[in-house]
Amino acid sequence: MGAIVTGATRGIGLAIAQSFVSERASVVLAGRSIEEGRKCADALGPNAHFISCDLTRKKEIEALTAEADRLFGRIDMLVNNAGDLHRASVLDLPVEEYERIHKLNLTAPFLLTQLVGRIMVRERRGGSIINITSTGAAVCRPGGTTYHVTKAGLAMLTRSSALDLGQYGIRVNAIAPGAFETGLMLSSTSTTPGLRDQLVSTTPLGRNGQVEELADVATFLASRDSSYVTGQQLFVDGGRMMLNPGLKVPEVADWVDFRR
Ligand SMILES: NC(=O)c1ccc[n+]([C@@H]2O[C@H](COP(=O)([O-])OP(=O)(O)OC[C@H]3O[C@@H](n4cnc5c(N)ncnc54)[C@H](OP(=O)(O)O)[C@@H]3O)[C@@H](O)[C@H]2O)c1
């Protein structure tokens, strides 16, 4: 079995790649950090390969897919995990940042779904595509336009591509993480004093998640254990989405920095 996991040089993507390798899959780890990516692949052993790719560039996405196809002769699993955000009030958000985040969070998963989907159709073995969305696909915090719009779009890409690809035995599902203490989450919470504690205190399980807990769910969605599951978005958030309201609206002083 061959897999591509994007954004696998650290954080959630690396944990998913680790979990797939431990289930004896061959995995391409994709990301921009060449040294880090090679180190990660070496640590995972001979079934892991790093391919450098800037997912905001169509040509690099095409090269990534072609190289994974050449390596494995098939691709059975795709995890669209790489993601980023630009925090700014909608009044100040530069269109260049809006477009950059769209390219990474939404256009790249679309292109990969198309390119990898064609390989899966060619091979006639079905497949599993997993999109990493966010609780931010459904609820918002101030200054989060780029993130919320793209993650909500990715949730809908999940459903619409599940509809198109079901006839080929290709399942498409999304995982919406709550708070996992990766670099992305820490850079996001560090600009808002008290946000980390607020997140924990509004999570019914009373803690943030461990990346391995997210990887276990991805492994389930990639495996035959979920063979009748498609078009779903599974919230892995310690129960936080049950709360209404989830977060207090921050005081202006908490997010004024995002305008820089
Ligand atoms: N952590 C959380 O609490 C949380 C919550 C909800 C949703 N999520 C989602 O989970 C996913 C992973 O998040 P994370 O917390 O693990 O983030 P992270 O630790 O910041 O890792 C992000 C990964 O994406 C890659 N990446 C970023 N820009 C890229 C680009 N232009 N081209 C290729 N790769 C790129 C990075 O690799 P390079 O820098 O090497 O390119 C890195 O491997 C994201 O989609 C995020 O929105 C996370």
What are the pocket residues of ligand 1 if the criterion is a CB atom closer than 6 Å to any ligand atom?
Answer: 7-13, 31-33, 36, 53-56, 81-84, 104, 132, 134, 177, 179-180, 182-185
Distance (angstroms) between ligand 1 centre and the Cα of 211 equals 12
Which residues are bridge partners to 174 per DSSP? 131, 233
Q: Output the DSSP codes for 35-51.
A: HHHHHHHHHH-TTEEEE
Region of 120 (left: φ > 0; alpha: ψ -120 to 50; beta: rest) is: alpha
Tokens of 30: 């994709």
Distance CA 135, CA 175 (A): 9
Domains by residue range for the chain, with CATH: 2-182+208-239 (3.40.50.720)
Q: What pLDDT sits at residue 252? A: 39
Q: Are 31 and 13 in contact (CB under 8 A)?
A: yes
Q: What is the C-alpha separation between 236 and 134, in angstroms, rounded?
A: 9
For residue 173, the CA-to-ligand 1 centroid distance in Å is 18
CA angle 82, 88, 93 (to 5 degrees): 95
Number of Cβ within 10 Å of residue 13's Cβ equals: 28
Residue nearest to atom 7 of ligand 1 (CA): 134
What is the per-residue pLDDT for 147? 97
Q: How many A from CA of 167 to the centre of ligand 1?
A: 31
Q: Whose CA is nearest to atom 36 of ligand 1?
A: 7
Active site residues: 147
| Strands 48-52, 77-80: pairing kind | unpaired
Q: CB atoms < 10 A from the CB of 247, how many? A: 16
Give 87 Cα–ligand 1 centroid separation in angstroms: 15
Print pLDDT tens along the chain (260 aa): 999 999 999 999 999 999 999 999 999 999 999 999 999 999 999 999 999 999 999 999 999 999 999 999 999 999 999 999 999 999 999 999 999 999 999 999 999 999 999 999 999 999 999 999 999 999 998 999 999 999 999 999 999 999 999 999 999 999 999 999 898 888 777 777 788 888 888 888 888 999 999 999 999 999 999 999 999 999 999 998 987 664 543 443 443 333 33
Alpha helices for the chain (secondary structure H): 11-22, 34-44, 58-72, 95-102, 108-123, 145-165, 183-189, 195-201, 211-222, 252-255
Looking from the CA of residue 54, the nearest atom of ligand 1 is 32
- DSSP E strands in 22-125: the ranges are 26-31, 48-52, 77-80
Pocket test for ligand 1, best of 5, 18, 32 (most atoms within 8 A of CB): 32
Sign for the pseudo-dihedral over CA of 126, 212, 179, 32: negative
Nearest by Cα to 192 from 137, 237, 247, 136 = 247
pTM comes to 0.94
Angle between helices 145-165 and 108-123 in degrees, nearest 10: 20
Atom of ligand 1 lying closest to residue 8 CA = 43
Tell how far the Cα of 135 is from the centroid of ligand 1, in angstroms.
Answer: 15
Model pLDDT, residue 119: 98
Residue 181, classed as helix, strand or coil, is coil
Closest approach atom of ligand 1 to CA 82: 24
Name residue 177's beta-bridge partners: 236
